Amino acid sequence: MTGITTHVLDITTGRPLVGLKVDLYDVATTPPTRLNSTRTNADGRTDAPMLPGAAARTGQFELQFHVGDHFKAADALSDVVPVRFAIADATQHYHVPMLCAPWFFSTYRGS
């Protein structure tokens, strides 16, 4: 498998974060080009990859997680959380999860 996938988990409940808006941008262009905008499903994943394998390529990308809309916490630390990363090898799969709470955000290259 190639391309970009994500998985969003709410660490305050230990459950997938359902219905969260997630965007994918190509940030090598000026201004950035939106490649995809979708919402997480019941499993906290997206039904289709954020970047499908057929479109996999090297480049600079940014996932944006619209957590503010979801948590609706007045004192939340972040509203939209950007995760900017590069694909150096398009033959590899880039799984980029987001573990979050209104005051905590963690991401990593997963598998």
Partner 1 sequence: MPENVISLAARRRFALSGLALGAAALAPHGAKAQTPAGPAQASGPIVLHGVSPRLTVHALDTFHGTAATGLRIDFSVREGDGFKLLRTVTMNGNGRSDEPLLIGDSYRAGDYELLLHVDEYFARKQSRLPTPPFLSKLPVRIRVANAAERIHLPIQFGPWSYTYSRGS
Q: Which of residues 80-99 bind partner 1 (CB under 8 A)?
A: 80-82, 84-86, 88-89
Binding residues with partner 1: total (CB under 8 A): 23
Indicate which single residue of 75, 90, 93, 111 sits in contact with partner 1 (rule: CB under 8 A): 75
Backbone angles phi, psi at 71, to 5 degrees: -75, -35
Q: Based on the shown chain and the rule CB under 8 A, indicate whether residue 109 belongs to the binding site for partner 1.
A: yes
Query: CB atoms < 10 A from the CB of 110, how many?
Result: 12
Q: To 5 degrees, how large is the angle CA 98–CA 103–CA 106? A: 25
Give CA–CA dist 90/21, Å, rounded.
25
Q: Based on the shown chain and the rule CB under 8 A, indicate whether residue 69 belongs to the binding site for partner 1.
A: no
Got the DSSP string for 48-70?
A: S-SB-GGG---EEEEEEE-HHHH
Q: Based on the shown chain and the rule CB under 8 A, indicate whether residue 55 belongs to the binding site for partner 1.
A: no
**Contact residues for partner 1, defined by CB under 8 A:** 60, 68, 74-82, 84-86, 88-89, 103-109
